[in-house]
Amino acid sequence: MTQHEAADGAAPQPPLVGLRAIVTGGASGIGLATALLLSAQGARVAVFDLATALESGVQQSLLGVPVDVTDDQSVTAGVGRVVDELGGIDILVNNAGIGARGTVEENPMAEWQHVFDVNVFGIVRVTRAALPYLRQSPSAAVVNTCSVAATAGIPARALYSATKGAVLSLTQAMAADHIGERIRFNCVNPGTADTPWVDRLLQAADDPAAERAALEARQPHGRLVTAEEVAGAIAYLAAPSSGSTTGVALPVDGGMQALRLRPVQR
Ligand code: NAD
């Protein structure tokens, strides 16, 4: 009998039944795919995102909460609303993030500050606000969306990569700090994923089709990662059945970080 199978032979229970989750940046792309998967697996899911993004993205099975992760009061109010409406927090997916293109010389300091504010300090704000409730959960898990940019040098991504390097280190440090409280912290490292974010990048390119082909070729499996594949990895790390997994970074990148293939002969 599997862990979730009912003793009387009835259909197995979805793995996240009874759990309450927050997904930041959950109105689009990886966050939306994650929110829908956690919900399909039985969790009650709140989506934190900017009010403008929530208007278009969030479906009825999800609780849309307008939160700007760069704003302390907004984060505190959002967490308070989740606790009021869902009764607690078991899973936190820190996924909200923005990109930046440029070498170390090219982005203005105000942009460095803003991208760190969203990608790193946003995780700090939401995690701090959620921790008192995660401590009350019998199966608390935090999953951060990091990136292959944390572990591989990617051209013209100095600022973005620096934020994701910080996300990786922060994930490991938080895993160490809170293991005694039985709160797990892990992250996923996607390669280039087929989301509205990447659509926007492609549309800004001189030749979007050539740019897409170059991005596909950069990943050894020859295509972009899907948002659903990243969501699957997040759901795996968030589930109580992963109770012995903490402090890890799980690549979802078609082999981009780990493999060294010979160039294709043409
Ligand atoms: P996306 O643009 O489709 O979604 C990001 C969401 O974050 C949006 O809904 C946006 O409104 C929200 N957001 C932005 N700023 C916010 C703020 N201040 N407060 C609250 N929400 C905010 O992007 P995506 O591709 O799904 O990216 C999601 C995460 O995955 C990001 O952390 C990104 O760095 C990471 N990632 C993406 C890729 C990729 O290729 N798409 C690769 C590696 C990692």
Query: Which residue's structure tokens are 């704000």?
Result: 125
195 pocket-lining for ligand 1 (C-beta < 6 Å)? yes
pLDDT, tens digit (0-9, with 9 covering 90-100), for 252-262:
999 999 999 98
196 lines ligand 1 (CB under 6 A): yes
CATH T-level topology, domain 20-190+226-252? Rossmann fold (3.40.50)
Q: What is the pLDDT of residue 263?
A: 74
Span 215-224, average pLDDT: 94
Indicate if the pLDDT at residue 212 is higher than 50: yes
CB neighbours of residue 176 within 10 Å: 11
CA gap 225, 126 in Å, rounded: 27
The structure tokens listed for 10 are 């009835």
The answer to whether the CB of 198 is under 6 A from ligand 1 is yes
Which structure tokens are listed for 87?
A: 């009764």
For 190, half-sphere exposure in the C-beta direction (CA atoms, 13 angstrom radius) is 25
Measured from the CA of 227, which atom of ligand 1 is nearest? 26
Looking at the DSSP assignment, which residues form a beta bridge with residue 250?
Answer: 188
pTM of the model: 0.96
Tokens linked to 101: 């293109």
For residue range 60-110, list pLDDT tens digits in order: 799 999 999 999 999 999 999 999 999 999 999 999 999 999 999 999 999
Beta-carbon contacts of residue 218 (< 8 Å; ≥ 6 apart):
191, 192, 256
Structure confidence at residue 264 as a pLDDT band (50, 70, 90): low
The atom of ligand 1 lying closest to the CA of 68 is 19
Distance in Å, CA 197 to ligand 1 centroid: 7
Buried b (16+ CB within 10 A) or exposed e, 154-163: beebbbbbbb
Q: Is residue 68 a contact partner of residue 74, using CB atoms and an 8 Å limit? A: yes
Residue 252's SS3 state is strand
Mean pLDDT, range 150-162, rounded to an integer: 97
* Confidence band for 56, pLDDT divided at 50, 70 and 90: confident
CA of residue 137 to ligand 1 center, whole Å: 27
Question: Quick check: CB of 202 below 6 Å from ligand 1?
Answer: no
Do the beta carbons of residue 57 and residue 159 sit within 8 Å? no
Domains in the chain: boundaries: 20-190+226-252, 195-224
Contact indicator for 48, 126 with CB cutoff of 8 Å:
yes
